[in-house]
Amino acid sequence: MKSRRTDLKKFLKTTTLLLMCSIFLAACGNLQDSTLSSGGGDSSKSTVQTTSSSDSSSYDVLLSNGKYKTSPISGLTAADNSNQFNSRSFESGLMKLSKKQFSTNSYVFQEGQVLSASTVNKWLARKSKKNPTGLNPASNGSTAPTKRTPMYLQQLLEEDYLQKQDGKYKLAGISIGVAMNKIDYYQKKQYGATYKTTITEAEQKEQGQRIAKEIVQRLRKEDKVGNIPIVVGLYSVAPEDTLVGGNYFQYSFSKSGELGSFKDLEYKSQMLPVVNGDTAISSSDSDAFSNFKTHIQDYFPNLSGVTAQAHYDGTDLKSLDVTINTQFDGLAQITSFTQFVQQSATKYLPSGADLDINIQTVDEQQAVVTRTNGKFYSHVYDAD
Amino acid sequence: MKSRRTDLKKFLKTTTLLLMCSIFLAACGNLQDSTLSSGGGDSSKSTVQTTSSSDSSSYDVLLSNGKYKTSPISGLTAADNSNQFNSRSFESGLMKLSKKQFSTNSYVFQEGQVLSASTVNKWLARKSKKNPTGLNPASNGSTAPTKRTPMYLQQLLEEDYLQKQDGKYKLAGISIGVAMNKIDYYQKKQYGATYKTTITEAEQKEQGQRIAKEIVQRLRKEDKVGNIPIVVGLYSVAPEDTLVGGNYFQYSFSKSGELGSFKDLEYKSQMLPVVNGDTAISSSDSDAFSNFKTHIQDYFPNLSGVTAQAHYDGTDLKSLDVTINTQFDGLAQITSFTQFVQQSATKYLPSGADLDINIQTVDEQQAVVTRTNGKFYSHVYDAD
């Protein structure tokens, strides 16, 4: 691997256009105030442009050589897990943790460029003579669900945070997401039946902390990292049969050397209406959602499903992602229904939570209603 | 069929909740100012509630007995046409024409309740001894594409406009959409090959006007219609292989008796980039779109398609519905791309047109960017 600083120098000398575009984690913002402004002050005479969002709580994004750069380790996993809800919360949760250390005002974001795919593939595998850097423990020979050594580490995510120094963007912070299995799915033979080993919360924490510390030690040896601050988040991967994604359960910070102590996080997600005999995290939120659901089904009987993912921090409902499946798709009816959903949400759903309500038929998205920081927005697709 | 007035009286006596919700044809509006207010003043003591949108250019919608009522003739067609883009513009276009006669301030909207499915099924069929009310002409016996008598009339749409009189909602205006084929698709024998007869613009107009006049005469004989104003729009159905929907090409108005003269409409739709060797309706709009497309493809190379439906009134570009297919779906990249699309749209796309930009992967909707009356909004799905 080439040195990151060399890369950055070269890129700043040769590029004629450096664009940053704003990333807004809040998922939903009115960006009418966006401006395209000249960055200036760059001794290398390259044209530097930045776009700044009106939303100061979100990062600007670096486009290297005028291109968005993806992380080479994106999507690499240790084992299969078909739960589609994990990947987005794994990404967005790490960015949320990063904001505690890397201010959106002074850092710009880029997908991780330090860790390579070949390195991470070795790290995700079991430790063995042939693979000494493996972060999952060596097999103990057993294939019995309760006796074997499971694969604890499922996935890694790197996010880079850069700062402008002397007119050039330099890596100034790294965040690492460590996705830990709650259930490890495995086959005893190739293409065979799938078995599972359940991992306790205590094991998740212990193994996660061991892996996080090891990763930070390894990163510190990389030239391009050196002594810059590193954030590590431990993420619990949601099992395949849950209808919500996982959550970060601990995080830690290293200013320059080793990782400090791990702090607990209280993020939880739950499907509404509550399924499988689960207990509601908040019965008042669960009741509120039931009332909302009943109300819209009374007025528009042809709905085939109204469900939600509720996201909590402790017992505070932070956001509600609602999916409504309709059996109708006529323009007048969809438009009228969209308006009705907004009214009903205002009346019945907890007022403090952000809302993301998707109205769809089996075939396609029909409309969306959102509430962000108390402000509603609605949109019907293809209405003109 | 029961009398509409009787229906309305009964409903006003028995209902305890009458809700209207606002329909906004503009497809996209910020409804944060919606209010739920008591209508009052109703001698029958039923609780009347209305919701009024902040957007005065859109209709409130009547919910009869607390339910949204669909039109019984919705979706009935004379022949097959697989072009999915027709149905929404057939609906929204008629509402746009209706606004010329029925002010959004004094009328509320309801899907058509006068025409029944059995009536319209007869009207859509060919005229014959067994079907004297058929509005498509009798067959001349030929099955040759250029010699046979085509099916001119493809579909009918009814929209009702009600006014409050003495505390009760009464039918006070009707709009009828008449969808006329440009190409009539037919089979010579059941499950056989599909043939087509092309219909000229002159024939479309002549036949459409004949059918419209006949429908108005028939409606005038209905008790619940009597002498209320009727709007009729003639719509040209887009052929199956075009990637845009059809448009209304003429309309007429009857205050109480017969229809008046027909007025020409200049609505046109075109796919961008222009396909099949077509000439661009506006070469400057076509160039602007190409520049937009090139710009975003330069910065985000992994796009698998960037297309648009351009909607014109004469030579004025009214709106642009853009679809962008991406090969990536990571949260950071989608969010960054969404922001970049908005910037590029501001810079390259014609400033007067409303925009509806959908960003999607093969599997699902990822984000949306809209501009309505100059105001941008963007939303990334499932970002929290």
Residue-wise pLDDT tens digits, B137-193: 999 999 999 999 999 999 999 999 999 888 889 999 999 999 999 999 999 988 899
Residues of B in contact with A159 (CB under 8 A): 332
Q: CB count, 10 Å around CB of B196?
A: 14
pLDDT-derived band at A194, boundaries 50, 70, 90: very high
Closest CA to A90 of A174, A159, A173: A159
Q: Is the pLDDT of residue B255 over 70?
A: yes
Match 């993020």 to its residue by tokens.
A267
Task: Using DSSP, state whether B5 is helix, strand or coil.
Answer: helix
What are the residue ranges spanned by the domains of chain A? 67-265, 270-380
| The pair of three-digit structure tokens given for residue A223, joined into one six-digit string | 């030239």
Task: Using DSSP, state whether B232 is helix, strand or coil.
Answer: strand
Q: Is the pLDDT of residue A4 over 70?
A: no
Buried b (16+ CB within 10 A) or exposed e, A108-146: bbbbbbbbeeebbebbbbebeeebeebbbeeeeeeeeee
Distance CA B291, CA B258 (A): 50
Task: Using DSSP, state whether A175 is helix, strand or coil.
Answer: strand
Q: Between the CA of residue A299 and those of A82, B206, B364, what are the distances in Å?
A: 36, 42, 28
Contact A29 B378 (CB under 8 A): yes
pLDDT-derived band at B330, boundaries 50, 70, 90: confident
Rounded to the nearest integer, the mean pLDDT of chain A is 84
Does domain B67-265 match CATH 3.40.50.300? no
Distance CA B98, CA B319 (A): 20
**pLDDT at position A176, please?**
98
Contact A384 B299 (CB under 8 A): no
Among A128-137, A207-216, B2-11, B157-166, the least confident range? B2-11
- List the single residue in B87, B336, B347 with the smallest CB-CB distance to A23: B336
Alpha-carbon torsion A276, A278, A281, A282, what sign? positive
Task: Using DSSP, state whether B296 is helix, strand or coil.
Answer: helix
Instruction: Give me the percent of chain A exceeding a pLDDT of 90.
Output: 62
For residue B96, the chain A residue with the least C-alpha distance is A384
Average pLDDT value for residue range B186-212: 94
A185 touches A240 (CB < 8 A): yes
pLDDT-derived band at A33, boundaries 50, 70, 90: very low
Distance from B272 to chain A by nearest Cα, in Å?
A: 16
Average pLDDT value for residue range A128-132: 96
Contact B34 A343 (CB under 8 A): yes
**pLDDT at position B82, please?**
76
**In three state form, how does the secondary structure of B84-109 look?**
CCHHHHHHHHHHHHHCCCCCCCCCEE
pLDDT-derived band at A384, boundaries 50, 70, 90: low
Contact B333 A53 (CB under 8 A): no
Contact A382 B321 (CB under 8 A): yes
Contact A34 B375 (CB under 8 A): no
Residues of A in contact with B57 (CB under 8 A): none
Q: Between the CA of residue B232 and those of A163, B59, B93, B112, B309, what are the distances in Å?
A: 63, 19, 11, 13, 26
Residues of B in contact with A25 (CB under 8 A): 335, 383-384
pLDDT-derived band at A49, boundaries 50, 70, 90: very low
Q: Is the pLDDT of residue B199 over 60?
A: yes
Strands (E), chain A: 19-22, 28-29, 35-38, 49-52, 60-63, 108-111, 153-165, 168-181, 183-187, 194-198, 230-237, 247-254, 263-264, 267-272, 303-313, 316-326, 354-360, 365-372, 375-380
Question: CA torsion angle for A78, A79, A85, A90 (degrees, to 10)?
Answer: -10
Instruction: Give me the percent of chain B exceeding a pLDDT of 70.
Output: 85
More confident residue, B76 or A66: B76
pLDDT-derived band at A302, boundaries 50, 70, 90: confident
Q: Is the pLDDT of residue A40 over 60?
A: no
Q: What is the ipTM of this complex?
A: 0.79
Closest CA to A176 of A231, A120, A133, A99: A231
Do you know the residue count of chain A?
384
Longest dimension (CA), chain A: 66
B215 touches B232 (CB < 8 A): yes
> B270-380, what's its fold?
GMP Synthetase; Chain A, domain 3 (3.30.300)
Q: Is the pLDDT of residue B52 over 80?
A: no
B168 touches B158 (CB < 8 A): no
pLDDT-derived band at B25, boundaries 50, 70, 90: very low
**pLDDT at position B231, please?**
98
Distance from A314 to chain B by nearest Cα, in Å?
A: 16
Contact B31 A335 (CB under 8 A): no
Longest dimension (CA), chain B: 66
Contact B68 A337 (CB under 8 A): yes
Chain centre distance of CA B25: 9
Helix and strand element counts for chain B (H, E): 6, 19
A332 touches A300 (CB < 8 A): no
Strands A267-272 and A263-264: unpaired
pLDDT-derived band at B19, boundaries 50, 70, 90: very low
For residue A34, the chain B residue with the least C-alpha distance is B343
Instruction: Give me the percent of chain B exceeding a pLDDT of 90.
Output: 63
Mutate: best of B336, B356, B358, B363, partner A, most A CBs <10 A: B336
pLDDT digits (tens, 9 = 90+) for B88-138: 899 999 999 999 999 999 999 999 999 999 999 999 999 999 999 999 999
B354 touches B318 (CB < 8 A): yes
For residue A321, the chain B residue with the least C-alpha distance is B382
Contact B383 A92 (CB under 8 A): yes
- List the single residue in A23, A330, A376 with the smallest CB-CB distance to B332: A23
- List the single residue in A34, A365, A376 with the smallest CB-CB distance to B32: A376
Among A301-310, B79-88, B276-285, the least confident range? B79-88
- The answer to whether B67-265 and B270-380 have equal CATH topology is no
User: How many interchain CB pairs under 8 A, A with B?
Assistant: 214
For residue A158, the chain B residue with the least C-alpha distance is B332
Distance CA A255, CA B350 (A): 49
For residue B245, the chain A residue with the least C-alpha distance is A384
